[in-house]
Amino acid sequence: MTSSSADVVVIGLGPGGGEVADRLLDAGMSVVGVERELVGGECPYWGCVPSKMMIRGSTLIAENRRADPYAGRSSIEPDLAFVAKRIRDEATDTWDDTVAADRFEGKGGRLVRGSAKLAGTGRVVVGDDTFVAARGVVVASGSAPVVPPVQGLADTRYWTNREAISAEQAPTSLVVLGGGSVGVELAQMFARYGMRCGARVWPPPCRGRNATRRPARRPTATAADGAP
């Protein structure tokens, strides 16, 4: 059991916590960063970066299918395994955060692996160790997918974004619960990669929480790709 101190303790080193920690280090403060999974958080490993690689691949597939009237006959055999390999080799180091952890420590941050708990004003406990923050504690613990109370869902092997992003083959069919940006982009991407039964987005994109900010043509576009 140890106790140590720092100017600031940052809980969670995703994009939010990582940016705060960087700026505090730049300002000359001592920073303890606590991370229970991967330094970098959701975005580089199961979010923005790999999803955009998949979407880029799926756009190439769609463009290829549209080439005929403009560029000549063209054919393509969609295969998610190609982009799955790139995600492992070029984006996530097969979900290894050594580079990001080294970068944080190289800037002078103290990285603590484990799950942080608040234990009073300025006190953070990780396992048997206590960290006392002289200036403050930053909670940047992110969010997790909400699993809706759908009867029977808990007994199925459902996916969240993590299983979708780490898939090596497109599923044969998919029902996407949640018509927000993540649900829609994943549905369209998988549909373009050749799911036989298509993706159903529920609720339909137009009726999602941010309906007023969505372009009216989006359902048409996703439907054309087999993701109504």
Ligand X SMILES: Cc1cc2nc3c(=O)[nH]c(=O)nc-3n(C[C@H](O)[C@H](O)[C@H](O)COP(=O)(O)OP(=O)(O)OC[C@H]3O[C@@H](n4cnc5c(N)ncnc54)[C@H](O)[C@@H]3O)c2cc1C
Coil vs helix vs strand at 139: strand
Binding mask 25-44 for ligand X (x = CB under 6 A): ---------xxxx---xxx-
- Least distance (Å) from ligand X to the CB of residue 75? 29
Identify the residue among 5, 74, 115, 210 touching ligand X (CB under 6 A): 115
Coil vs helix vs strand at 215: coil
Phi, psi of 155 (to 5 degrees): -90, -5
DSSP-assigned letter for residue 27: T
In the complex with ligand X, the residue whose CB is nearer, 23 or 66, is 23
- DSSP codes of every residue in 85-110: HHIIIIISTTT--HHHHHHHHHTT-E
Identify the residue among 21, 61, 101, 116 touching ligand X (CB under 6 A): 116
In the complex with ligand X, the residue whose CB is nearer, 15 or 198, is 15
Q: Name the token pair of 10.
A: 């940052």
65 binds ligand X (CB under 6 A): no
188 binds ligand X (CB under 6 A): no
Considering only the stretches 15-23, 62-70, 77-85, 101-109, report the one whose residues sit in contact with ligand X under the rule CB under 6 A. Answer: 15-23
Dihedral (CA of 53, 187, 213, 153) sign: negative
In the complex with ligand X, the residue whose CB is nearer, 68 or 168, is 168
16 binds ligand X (CB under 6 A): yes
228 binds ligand X (CB under 6 A): no
- Least distance (Å) from ligand X to the CB of residue 177? 14
Please report, as residue ranges, which positions from 120 to 149 form the binding site for ligand X (by CB under 6 A).
140-143
Cβ atoms of 152 and 25 within 8 Å: the answer is no
180 binds ligand X (CB under 6 A): no
Strands (E), 73-228: 110-113, 116-118, 123-126, 129-139, 174-177, 199-202
> Where are the alpha helices (H) located in 136-180, listed in sequence order?
161-165
Residues in contact with ligand X by CB under 6 A are 11-12, 14-17, 34-37, 41-43, 47-48, 51-52, 115-116, 140-143, 161, 182
